[in-house]
Amino acid sequence: MKLVRYGDFGRERPGLLDTAGVLRDLSAHVDDIAGEALLPDTLARIRAMDPATLPAVEGAPRLGACVGRVGKFVCVGLNYTDHAQEAGMPIPEEPVLFLKPTSCIVGPNDNVEIPRGSTKTDWEVELGIVIGKPAKYIEASDSYTHVAGYCVVNDVSERAYQLERGGTWDKGKGCDTFGPVGPWLVTADEIPDPQALDMWLEVDGVRRQTGSTRTMIFDVPTIVAYVSQFMGLQPGDIITTGTPPGVGLGMKPPVYLKPGQTMRLSVDGLGVQEQRTVAAG
């Protein structure tokens, strides 16, 4: 299934895309694509519905982030060997974890703000994992039973704030609008092998990133199990899994975003995002 949230920011409604690409309203059955709606039993109930019985949504409403009420937005850094090399950082022996604040989450096609004073705002196409069942101290062999599905994430990053301002990475990762998520939450049954997904990102029509989840250092089961050793995971939590090479930081010379540009990005089977960059107000 392709689950979506649509409508004005902060007032999104739950929906799904049927096989013909028609947006259908799910609000009579779940209050949001969030929390308990992502439990295995609830997803099974939605999957058993005939989409034709759900009201079609007219027009082309804004798409919000495909998951609502996200409790944790966990990120894995330097998870592609060639990206670590282009960033001039050692290959990690364990997953590098950091958190993005949930306040940075926006829809897949919303504007991305270049923060005040920013000179090094960068792009990162990533595979996002959406948790569907609580996970704490689990083994990698059990990880997939805790995954509701997958989505596209743009882990927008301000490199000067991340790397040159002291402390942890968080201050360069959590600016408002730095977490476009969606357009769809594609349930795990439609993505049989998350380690075989091509991905790409363009800026103003120029291809900047071309990669595949095949080259991840730590795979999806390892990541979910690893994170669960440090924090309990709940339905609706998002884990984003690192980016392939081609970020602005790694170019020679580096190239960064400025207001008035357009990013387009995608992961196979998970839809396309498109954001316009604007100056923060």
In tens, the pLDDT along 154-197 reads 999 999 999 999 878 999 999 999 999 999 999 999 999 999 99
- Whether residue 88 is predicted with pLDDT greater than 90 in this model: the reply is no
Q: What are phi and psi of 25, to 5 degrees?
A: -85, 125
Conformation bin of residue 204: beta by default, left when phi > 0, alpha when psi is -120 to 50: left
pLDDT digits 0-9 by tens, 89-146:
788 999 999 999 999 999 999 999 999 999 999 999 999 999 999 999 999 999 999 9
Cβ count near 49 (within 10 Å):
14
- Which regions of 168-250 does DSSP assign to beta strands (E)? 179-180, 185-187, 198-203, 206-212, 238-240
Residue percentage of the chain with pLDDT more than 70? 100
The sign of the CA dihedral 206, 212, 215, 218 is positive
- pLDDT at residue 83, as a whole number: 80
- 247-267 average pLDDT score: 97
First to last CA, the chain: 37
CATH 3.90.850.10 fits 73-275, yes or no: yes
With cut-offs at 50, 70 and 90, classify the pLDDT of residue 33.
Answer: very high
Q: What is the pLDDT of residue 200?
A: 98
* Per-chain mean pLDDT for the chain: 96
Quote the CA–CA distance of 26 and 51 in Å, as a whole number: 9
pLDDT confidence band for 60 (50 / 70 / 90): very high
Phi/psi of residue 54, nearest 5 degrees: -95, 145
The strand pair at 238-240 and 23-25 is best described as unpaired
Task: Locate CATH 3.90.850.10 in the chain.
Answer: 73-275
pLDDT of residue 100: 98
Residue 151, SS3 per DSSP: strand
Q: Quick check: 84 pLDDT over 80?
A: no
The DSSP 8-state label assigned to residue 214 in this structure reads G
pLDDT confidence of residue 168:
85
CB 150 within 8 A of CB 270: yes
Question: What is the mean pLDDT of the segment spanning 146-154?
Answer: 98
Average pLDDT in the 47-51 region? 97
Q: What is the 3-state secondary structure (H, E, C) of the chain?
A: CEEEEECCCCCCEEEEECCCCCEEECCCCCCCCCHHHHCHHHHHHHHCCCHHHCCECCCCCCECCCCCCCCCEEEEECCEHHHHHHCCCCCCCCCEEEECCHHHEECCCCCEEECCCCCCEECCEEEEEEECCCECCCCHHHHHHHEEEEEEEECCEEHHHHHCCCCCHHHHCCCCCCEEECCCEEEHHHCCCCCCCEEEEEECCEEEEEEEHHHECCCHHHHHHHHHCCCCECCCCEEECCCCCCCHHHCCCCCCCCCCCEEEEEECCCCEEEEEEEECC
* Banded pLDDT at 3 (limits 50, 70, 90): very high
